[in-house]
Amino acid sequence: MKMAREKTYKRGLSKQALRGVMHRNIVSLPEDRHYLDSDQLNGLEQSFRQWVEETSRADVRLSRRRILLIFLLIRYTGAKLNEVLSIHPLEDVNYGRQSVLFRNDDNGSGQNVREVLISEVLSSEVHSMLADPEFRRSIEKTFGIDPGFVRRKFYERAQACGFSKEMGGPEMIRKSRAVELMQNNMPLPAVQMLLGHSTPNLTSSYVSFSEDEMQQVTKYFMEKESSRKTSARNTFFGKIVRLQRGDIQTSVELSTMQGHRVTTVITNDSVERLGLKEGKMITADVKAPYVIVEKASEEPQSSAENKFKGIVEQVNKGKVNTEYVIGISEETRLCSITTTKSGQQLDLKKGDHVWALFNCFAVVLRID
């Protein structure tokens, strides 16, 4: 399946069409079915928060805060409604690990448990909610709320935002979350693991990542999202697979879950200071002006250590500079900035096949 989608990408599918294929594979969305985008999800969240604050009755506010917490857990973990309603909030939310334990008891065994990481921001908010003695007493064990009642409240909030009620259902929020994560470049296997899929898409480019390492990848994207960082199109997050030490500098090669290999060279002192070793998870950043674009179908002859074949997805032309967004795989984008004058010589258009190149000295390593 992975190979088939990559072949589809290389034939030049548009980004929208490609993402449609990706989304259906992850969340089983029919072609004529819509989902909420990030702005709509955020608007729905704001609607829930305002709904909690607009009542002056303590008992009503308490009830609404429980519904808000249920929404937040589905919104940010992609869990099913029955999974959320089955947790023991005082026991299953781990603030030290910033995670939630879900027990999927569809088969009645009670054995299927998965840990879903959440951001520090959400963990702190849940902790603050549960610190309220009245709120704690209301959910000493499980939420104790009828699923039908939860659905009705979700539908009401969706309609208050101007959506059809079905668009606010727990299943649609779960699906929309999966799409949102993919659009934020979270690797497919990490999304599948977060959703609790029993058969994650672990092809050859992923098998070297353990479950703990996949959790680290998930954590990285969660924190990046909650801190509202800028686009990570030129950020590679992966595992160090090779260190070649020299007299003064060390060559470092990392592999991402998408199968991309990135090579950089840093000083031996930096290797010691960062505590680098094979198997360590690390982030590699490349500034857009350092990414060179060549219009070619075959790999160009170049001294650049890092070469990625891709398709031009966007061209943003300015008076002085032009930005090119290049898709190098289903889940990864690279941004290149050139002078508009040199861009005119390249004459790049959306859909053109290109190579994105940068040398090892253009890569900066950091530990988040």
| pLDDT single digits (tens) 151-164 | 999 999 999 999 99
H or E element in which residue 265 lies: strand 261-267
In a domain, 160, yes or no: yes
Q: Looking at residue 41, which CATH number applies to its domain?
A: 1.10.443
Structure tokens, 317: 């032309």
In a domain, 207, yes or no: no
> Mean pLDDT over residues 273-288, rounded?
90
| Residue of 222 and 58 predicted with greater confidence | 58
Q: Which amino acid is at 267?
A: T
In a domain, 292, yes or no: yes
Burial (CB count <10 Å: 0-12, 13-18, 19+), residue 137 = exposed
- Based on the domain organization, do 66 and 113 belong to the same domain? yes
pLDDT range class, residue 57, cuts 50, 70, 90: very high
In a domain, 11, yes or no: yes
- pLDDT surpasses 60 at 121: yes
- The per-residue pLDDT for 160 is 93
- Based on the domain organization, do 270 and 306 belong to the same domain? no
In a domain, 192, yes or no: no
- Based on the domain organization, do 142 and 249 belong to the same domain? no
Q: How many of the other CB atoms lie within 10 Å of CB of 39?
A: 8
| pLDDT single digits (tens) 211-229 | 777 777 777 777 767 654 4
Q: What is the spatial distance between Cα 308 and Cα 260, in angstroms, rounded to a whole number?
A: 8
- The per-residue pLDDT for 104 is 67
pTM to 2 decimal places:
0.60
| Alpha-helix residue ranges (DSSP H) falling in the chain | 2-10, 15-27, 38-53, 58-77, 81-86, 89-92, 120-130, 133-138, 147-160, 170-183, 188-195, 211-226, 268-274, 340-346
> Mean pLDDT over residues 108-116, rounded?
68
First to last CA, the chain: 32
For the beta sheet containing 281-286, the strands, ordered from the edge strand earlier in sequence to the opposite edge, are 261-267, 249-256, 235-245, 281-286, 363-366
Q: What percent of the chain has pLDDT over 90?
A: 42
Report yes or no: 65 and 189 within 8 Å, Cβ to Cβ.
Answer: no
Q: What is the spatial distance between Cα 78 and Cα 175, in angstroms, rounded to a whole number?
A: 7
- Based on the domain organization, do 261 and 130 belong to the same domain? no
- Based on the domain organization, do 297 and 247 belong to the same domain? no
- Based on the domain organization, do 45 and 179 belong to the same domain? yes
- pLDDT surpasses 90 at 361: yes
| Residue of 118 and 105 predicted with greater confidence | 118
**Mean pLDDT of all residues belonging to the chain:** 82
- pLDDT surpasses 60 at 231: no
- The per-residue pLDDT for 226 is 62
Q: Which of 200, 221, 368 has the alpha carbon at shortest distance from 280?
A: 368
- pLDDT surpasses 80 at 177: yes
The domain total for the chain is 3
> Mean pLDDT over residues 115-133, rounded?
87
Q: How many of the other CB atoms lie within 10 Å of CB of 253?
A: 17
Q: What is the spatial distance between Cα 116 and Cα 80, in angstroms, rounded to a whole number?
A: 12
- Based on the domain organization, do 6 and 122 belong to the same domain? yes
- pLDDT surpasses 70 at 147: yes
- Based on the domain organization, do 280 and 322 belong to the same domain? no
- Based on the domain organization, do 59 and 166 belong to the same domain? yes
- Based on the domain organization, do 27 and 141 belong to the same domain? yes
- pLDDT surpasses 70 at 201: no
| pLDDT single digits (tens) 13-49 | 334 433 443 443 444 444 444 889 888 998 999 999 9
H or E element in which residue 310 lies: strand 306-317
- The per-residue pLDDT for 188 is 79
- Based on the domain organization, do 40 and 90 belong to the same domain? yes
In a domain, 254, yes or no: yes
- The residues near 18 (Cβ < 8 Å, ≥ 6 apart) are 5, 8, 9, 327, 330
In a domain, 211, yes or no: no
| pLDDT single digits (tens) 181-197 | 887 777 878 888 888 87
In a domain, 111, yes or no: yes
Owner of token pair 């061209």? 315
Report yes or no: 101 and 94 within 8 Å, Cβ to Cβ.
Answer: yes
> Mean pLDDT over residues 340-358, rounded?
90
Radius of gyration of the chain (CA): 23
Domain boundary among 119, 151, 185: 185
Q: Looking at residue 336, which CATH number applies to its domain?
A: 2.40.50.100
- The per-residue pLDDT for 209 is 67
Range of the domain at 242: 235-285
Q: Which of 232, 161, 186, 2 has the alpha carbon at shortest distance from 78?
A: 186
- Based on the domain organization, do 278 and 306 belong to the same domain? no
- The per-residue pLDDT for 240 is 92
- The residues near 324 (Cβ < 8 Å, ≥ 6 apart) are 293, 312, 314, 315, 316, 335, 336, 337, 338, 343, 348, 354
Domain boundary among 185, 202, 225: 185
